[in-house]
Amino acid sequence: MDFTTLTYRKTGRIARIALNRPWALNAITRDMPREIRAAVGLANGDDEVHVIVLSGNGRAFCAGYDLKLFAEATGTNEAIQDMPWDPMRDYRVMHGFTEDMLSLWRSYKPVICKVHGYAVAGGSDIALCADLVLMAEDAKIGYPPARVWGCPTTAMWVYRLGAEKAKRMLFTGDLVTGAEAKAMGLVHDAVPPAELDAAVEALAARIAGVPKNQLMMQKLMINQAYDNMGMQATQMFATIFDGITRHSPEGMWFKKLAEEKGFHAAVRWRDSGEPIPEPKG
């Protein structure tokens, strides 16, 4: 396939998917989730592949949805409608993006995600859909749009951290380092940046030696436990709520600020700790 937002290659038993918009810190476009799903499909359809490694080219894994496309651009788009808005139209779009990301979680082949730089907002959604996440100790992960204009549609925070720690992250929108994420139990491991590539390669090689049918059975067995805990229902609520956050009075304020001052200015306010303006009356 010809990909525009990522690269795909195979070395032995390992398929390698690399997000490839380095000039934009691999920010998510309309096409990227669909291409992730297609690349996962290629790996699952290749009988030689035992494990998938997901990474990002350039200075970061993924900086989230490209707010120049979705927040800064004037007028309506996939993420924002004129009022009154249709929640189900929004859900249809965002559910599609979410299902594409969840192809990593549902892949029959195990997925290791390598995180350097940043995995924030939608980038954290992608990373946390992997089976195992390895981070550089100085990398950052979090979901800042929890402060305004977002709800993590994959809802992986609660399944990886439990209720209290997930609330700590999503009530604040704070970023934590790879070292902190490891200590919290959010990710499998965090290593010094110079050791990240070697750590990922060693883990991938270890998994690649296991028969595909064994890997598939173990993954299906573990994942069904999360299905039984209502994961799909949680993701449905999260995706609907994500649409509400973008069309609430505060969400519309954020969109207007991004249009007028640029998305960097809007993000600076969002993440500064200054109160988000609330409607009067």
Residues spanned by the domain of 33: 6-272
Q: Check pLDDT > 70 for residue 233.
A: yes
Written as six digits, the tokens of 55 are: 């990474």
Kindly report the backbone phi and psi dihedral angles of residue 4, in degrees, each rounded to the nearest multiple of 5, phi listed first.
-110, -20
Number of domains in the chain: 1
The answer to whether the CB of 79 falls within 8 A of the CB of 122 is no
The per-residue pLDDT for 280 is 82
Q: Is residue 180 part of a domain?
A: yes
Residue 258: pLDDT band (50, 70, 90) is very high
Residue 88 to residue 106: CA distance in whole angstroms = 24
C-alpha distance from residue 146 to each of 42, 104, 155, 232, 239 (Å): 33, 23, 12, 20, 13
Q: Is residue 240 part of a domain?
A: yes
Q: Is residue 278 part of a domain?
A: no
Task: Provide the percentage of residues in the chain whose pLDDT is more than 70.
Answer: 100
Q: Is residue 172 part of a domain?
A: yes
The per-residue pLDDT for 212 is 98
Task: Decide which of 73 and 10 is more confident.
Answer: 10
Task: Flag the least confident range among 76-80, 196-200, 218-222, 270-274.
Answer: 76-80
Residue 103 to residue 40: CA distance in whole angstroms = 7
Q: Is residue 169 part of a domain?
A: yes
Q: Check pLDDT > 90 for residue 162.
A: yes
pLDDT digits (tens, 9 = 90+) for 17-52: 999 999 999 999 999 999 999 999 999 999 999 999
Q: Is residue 1 part of a domain?
A: no
The per-residue pLDDT for 281 is 67
Show Cβ contacts of residue 121 under 8 Å, excluding neighbours closer than 6 positions: 63, 64, 65, 143, 144, 145, 150
For residue 214, the domain's CATH number is 3.90.226.10
Residue 145 to residue 250: CA distance in whole angstroms = 12
Instruction: Give the mean pLDDT of the chain.
Output: 97
Q: Check pLDDT > 80 for residue 262.
A: yes
Task: Provide the percentage of residues in the chain whose pLDDT is more than 90.
Answer: 93
| H/E run at residue 96 | helix 87-101
Q: Is residue 120 part of a domain?
A: yes
Residue 69 to residue 77: CA distance in whole angstroms = 8
Residue 278's CB is within 10 A of a number of other CB atoms, namely 10
Kindly report the backbone phi and psi dihedral angles of residue 122, in degrees, each rounded to the nearest multiple of 5, phi listed first.
-60, -25
- Whole-structure pTM over 0.85, yes or no? yes
pLDDT digits (tens, 9 = 90+) for 164-220: 999 999 999 999 999 999 999 999 999 999 999 999 999 999 999 999 999 999 999
Q: Is residue 209 part of a domain?
A: yes
